Structure 1
Amino acid sequence: MNATTSGDYVIRAIRADEWEAVKQLRLVALRDPVADIAFMETYEDAVERPDSFYQERAARSAEELSGARQFIAEAADGVWAGGLTVLVEEAGTTDWAGFPVERRQGHVVGVFVRPEHRGSGLIKALFDVGVAWAWARERGAERVRLLVHEDNARAQGAYRKAGFVPSGVTVELEADAGKKEFEFVREWPI
């Protein structure tokens, strides 16, 4: 997939040799004030991972026919302003929460935009590229979904602006007793 320009940003898939930037963006994301409800990993866990973890993650994402792709928004000054990852889930399998996957779909994870780049429409541009990748003929996703913590109102608003709507599915969080995540979806075609 070629790069897409959106305003002052170039949105593109990462390259395998960019693993250090992948790691740095992840660490910045995990320092966000809502990281504890937005991500399933802590800063401490991420910083302890060996470089080989990030090298392998970047290499897998850079493979043209892989079932996962990480997209970033690169600002004119070279800073990675944000990113997201789309995983392809196959019909007939189960997802990470044990729910059956009924049709081929994209699953968006790791959504993050640096605070100084928020409110610029960047999140929608990132989603548009990620969703288009999932819907491409080679992957054939019938819909794209994501999960968002019930207390993360900022993210819920951003996802709605990007064309996602609540599906009515909720996932109870074992680690956060009594809390849940809501599934948001964007169906094909929009």
Structure 2
Amino acid sequence: MTVQVRRPVEPEWERWRDLRLRMLADTPEAYAETLETARTLDEAEWRFRVRRTWLPGSFTVVGVEEAGGSADRWVGTMGAYTDPVEGVFLVSVFVDPAHRGGGLADRLLTEVLAWARTAPGASGMKLHVHERNVRAQAFYRRRGFVENGLRVPYVLDPTEEELEMELVFA
């Protein structure tokens, strides 16, 4: 099946929620939220989360496996936001296990980087990745990100760390 990369919209909040819950179940250490917390959120919060991806300084894409209308399945996502001090950050990265290794992560990142390169004042992009998430670290390195030496405590367990990686725009 064909996977299209596009922006999510608010009426799709249930698909956004379902994808987020799958993300948290699959790779819990990759996010600053627990599955248990996410399950308690109401419709208004999920709608807000989709809307905020369209706010100035934010950008998100989803990978949608097209099967026809309600049978479509969201199989990946990547987003970015601009921190007024730190610059552009890559966030909420996920590709469904059945779609890993097939190029979807590259397609999603290409779209996010294209947006980031046009962000006012952006000289690059940063990200935080859990110290044990070696698969993600390898992907980022392949795409030109390098560790910048900064390590930050993992927000859900301060005894663990996240590495900061960055890609400087040429």
| TM-score scaled by length of structure 2 | 0.89
Structure 2 counterpart of 1:8: 2
Number of equivalent positions: 166
- Percent of pairs identical after alignment? 32
Structure 2: unaligned runs, 5 residues or longer: none
Counterparts of residues 142-153 of structure 1 (less than 5 Å): 142-153=123-134
Distance 1:43 1:139, change over 3 A: same
- Is the CA contact (8 Å cut-off) linking 2:32 and 2:156 kept in structure 1? no
* 1:48 maps to 2:30: no
Q: Which amino acid aligns with 2:117?
A: W
In the TM superposition, what are the counterparts of 1:21-170 in structure 2 within 5 Å? Answer: 21-32=15-26, 34-35=27-28, 37-63=29-55, 66-77=56-67, 78-91=72-85, 101=86, 105-136=87-118, 138-170=119-151
Deviation sequence 1:97-130 (CA, Å, 0-9, x none): xxxx3xxx21111111100000112111111111
Equivalent position SS for 1:169:
strand
1:176 equivalent in alignment to 2:153:
no
Aligned match for 1:17, one of 11, 14, 20:
11
Structure 1 unaligned residues grouped into runs of 5+: 1-6, 92-100
Letter paired with 1:76: E
- Pick closer, same or farther for the CA change 1:48–1:175 going to 2, 3 Å: closer
Q: Which moved more, 1:109-118 or 1:167-176?
A: 167-176
Please say if residues 32 and 155 of structure 2, whose CA atoms lie closer than 8 Å, have aligned partners that are also in contact.
no
Partner of 1:4: none
Question: Which is richer in helix?
Answer: 2
- Change beyond 3 A, Cα 1:173–1:81: closer
Distance 1:177 1:144 in 2: 24
Instruction: Write out per-residue CA displacement over residues 30-59 of structure 1, whole angstroms, 9 at most, x where no aligned residue.
Output: 110x31x11111111001011100111112
CA 1:174–1:83 in 2, change beyond 3 Å: closer, same or farther? closer
Q: CA RMSD in A?
A: 1.8
Give the Cα separation in 2 of the matches to 1:173 and 1:60: 24
Q: Which amino acid aligns with 1:158?
A: F
Q: Normalising to structure 1: TM-score of the pair?
A: 0.80
Secondary structure at 2:112 match in 1: helix
Give 1 or 2: higher strand fraction: 2
The whole-number CA distance in structure 2 between the counterparts of 1:174 and 1:30 is: 15
1:122-142 Cα distance to aligned partner (Å, 9 max, x none): 111111111111111x53421
Once the two structures are TM-superposed, the CA of residue 14 in structure 1 deviates from its matched residue by 1.2
